[in-house]
């Protein structure tokens, strides 16, 4: 229980630091259960934990550029346990509305 509280505190501190800079937009964790849909419309159970990489959640930030977003990823608790953080821009799809 104490270990879980420590992990939660690490996440709160990291996200709080981003929020203190006015760059936090939102975040969500992803449930481990789901479905996988392929191009032929076949739906199967998954994703499964035995895959090489698992997406556990995401955080949206306001960054000046990709390098700024990379800098904001520093200190992510996932990195402290040997994980990776993938940094991407979000596509603006408002032109399609």
pLDDT for the residue numbered 76: 96
For the segment 47-65, the average pLDDT, to the nearest whole number, is 80
pLDDT for the residue numbered 25: 97
Higher pLDDT, 68 or 4: 68
Tell me the C-alpha distance between 42 and 44, whole Å: 7
Residues 75-95: pLDDT tens digits?
A: 999 999 988 999 999 998 999
Q: Break the chain into its structural domains and give their ranges.
A: 2-85
**pLDDT of 53 strictly over 70:** no
Residues 39-51: pLDDT tens digits?
A: 999 998 877 655 5
CATH class of 2-85: alpha beta
Residues 16-44: pLDDT tens digits?
A: 999 999 999 999 988 878 888 889 999 98
- pTM for the whole thing? 0.80
């Amino acid at each position: 229980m104490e270990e879980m509280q420590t992990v939660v505190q690490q996440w709160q501190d990291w996200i709080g630091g981003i929020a203190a800079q006015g760059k936090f937009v939102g975040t969500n964790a992803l449930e481990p259960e789901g479905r996988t849909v392929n191009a032929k419309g076949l739906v199967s159970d998954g994703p499964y934990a035995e895959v090489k990489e698992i997406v556990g959640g995401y955080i949206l930030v306001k960054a000046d550029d990709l390098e700024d977003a990379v800098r904001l990823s520093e200190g992510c608790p996932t990195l402290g346990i040997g994980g990776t953080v993938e940094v991407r821009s979000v596509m603006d799809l408002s032109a399609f509305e």
